[in-house]
Structure 1
Amino acid sequence: ISQLPESGNESSAEFLPLDDPEPPLDISFKILKFQPTSRPHPTFGVNEYEAILAIPKDVEQKKWPLIVFPHGGPHAVHTTDFLLLPAVFMLSGFAMVYVNYRGSCGYGDDNIRSLPGRVGDQDVKDCQEVAESVIKLDQIDENKVAVFGGSHGGFLTAHLIGQYPGFYKAACCRNPATNIAVKIATTDIPDWCYVEAGFDFTYSSLPTGEKLTEMWKMSPMQYVDKVETPILIMLGLEDARVPPKQGEEYYKQLRARNKKARLIGYSDNSHPIQTVEASADSCINILDWFWQHLD
């Protein structure tokens, strides 16, 4: 807090801190770089992408269970900024790898433009490449790998457990997009569905059979028969961005096939699921789910 000085003397302002700064978490961060030379984009070629490996500094732990954490968006980015759930996960004994797959922000325009029309494929393979690389490290227990994500990260979570059955021992997704072809008629951002599926968007755009077919081909719902991983699905029941029916239908299709799945809905929560009560409850339930299925 400060009392502003007279005009022209701003540099003399003195600030009084009201709280001491929080000590940093005892976490080691390392940037991992990936060059997908065997999977170049047909137009943009090979674009580098990164992941951030985060491991608690505990010398007594020989091997850490791993949580693979793709971000949402998809055109967003992971940094080492404080995030509640990852902080709790790591302080509870997990290593994490934050995946900035191609299409993430901060790596140039070509990198971003490489993803639309290739969601459900390029981003999924980038995440899996990271996971398969990290489990080779001495600090990581390759038999205890989970995946967690929200929104487009939930979309990727559902894809990963469907396209790589058995690799992940536990999964959790929050407000996942599971069927783009259905989402287009219910979301508050229909332009997302068109653009990420590789189509131009105007407000007069119509969802033709051809476009809906392509959207379905990019959706994780198509892999529901192959899922082996127990998955916890968390939904904000007021979500207009990714309506809860996306997660509900995915859950119903899994249970109809006797797949292990649990669904938790949070009233008075929308896309972020961030009320105090929901944050605490979701955190406890995710940890419990992972501990159950990684032991």
Structure 2
Amino acid sequence: MNRTAVSRQVDEWALAGLLGRFGHDLTSLVDKHLGSDWAENDEILALLALRHDMGPTTREIAQLSGLHRRALSRLVTRLRQDGIVLIRTSSGDRRSVVVDLTQYGKACFDGLSQDVDELFRTHHQTAARICELLDCGHHVPGQQHDPLGLLEQLVRAGDDLVRSIDSAAGPASLSGSQRTALVRIAAEGGLRPVELVPTLGFGRSGVAYVVNRLCDKGLVQRERNGVEGDARAVMLTVTAEGRAAAVSVTKAAAMHRLRLGPLFAQVRDWE
């Protein structure tokens, strides 16, 4: 591999890692305010569909998010139990169920909007680096200052990115944190679990959870005696399937430059 190709691959590793970490930070805010647990993109889109004044029907939520009926039913049940939504029969179609936010639910979305706004303000440097790797310019002026609107656009772009990844490589079912960890391990050629702590922003138990899932899927393996002078140390390395998955993730991120660039330019220039 020549120097140009190596440099390009390094940039692709870096881009995939930054996108994964940024996505994790946004997901953490959704989990915090709306009670989800490691929410996937389709669940986040379903939740964001609730934020408008006119309550959507469950059918509309499914169409907007791509969430399957059973998963949507479980989500609505959980939101009702948490006091975030109420359901009612549609006045226009007795077969349709409308999902309305409660006052508490509206307060949850207000809190989410404030925290997403603050995250955009404090992640200028990350967004600027992503823009540099995407080779994007300035965003079009006059954009609405709508934190949740931009969040939705970012999630949709991220969802399209994940769906475009070659399923034969196996990463389609990986969470953002798992993709970030996988790419970092592949890029380094192997590392200790503790080295993923700053990358993922988790404690050791959170890192262990992510690594366990990657090992269960046959993408990462633990190796002992990988650190000179420490026979007990564990090194994480990717399997052949894991390397193929990591390459698929990075290629997909590079292919979505035109879609991702303007969105991260907005975050970079957020005021």
Give TM-score scaled by structure 1 length: 0.20
Relative contact order (C-alpha < 8 Å, sep 6+): which is higher?
A: 2
Q: Which has the higher helix share?
A: 2
